[in-house]
């Protein structure tokens, strides 16, 4: 059954548009940290067993809130 033009239907459509506009604006996400690493992998050259080797992985936070790194593990 099609809707007929009239003040009641116009008011209902206006109400629905306002509700949808409010809902559409509510989909924004909260600020979050964003860790970025330019080179996330590194291949060490062969080393003698027992030799300590190190490499630095600079990590930057491109997010809008502080970045928390609770631990780092070799994998």
32-35, long-range: CB within 8 Å, 24+ apart, which pairs? 32/63, 32/64, 32/65, 33/61, 33/63, 33/64, 33/65, 33/66, 33/67, 33/68, 34/61, 34/62, 34/63, 34/67, 35/59, 35/60, 35/61, 35/62, 35/63, 35/67, 35/69
Segment 49-74 mean pLDDT = 90
Average pLDDT over residues 44-70: 91
| Position 11 pLDDT exceeds 60 | yes
pLDDT higher than threshold 60 for residue 12: yes
pTM: 0.49
Mean pLDDT throughout 34-55? 90
């Amino acid at each position: 059954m099609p809707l007929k033009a009239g003040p009641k239907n116009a008011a209902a459509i206006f109400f629905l548009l306002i509700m949808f506009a409010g809902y559409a604006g509510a989909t924004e996400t909260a600020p979050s940290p964003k860790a970025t690493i330019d080179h996330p992998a590194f291949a060490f050259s062969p080393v003698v067993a027992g030799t300590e080797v190190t490499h630095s992985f600079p990590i930057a936070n491109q997010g809008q809130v502080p970045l928390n790194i609770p631990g780092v593990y070799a994998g």
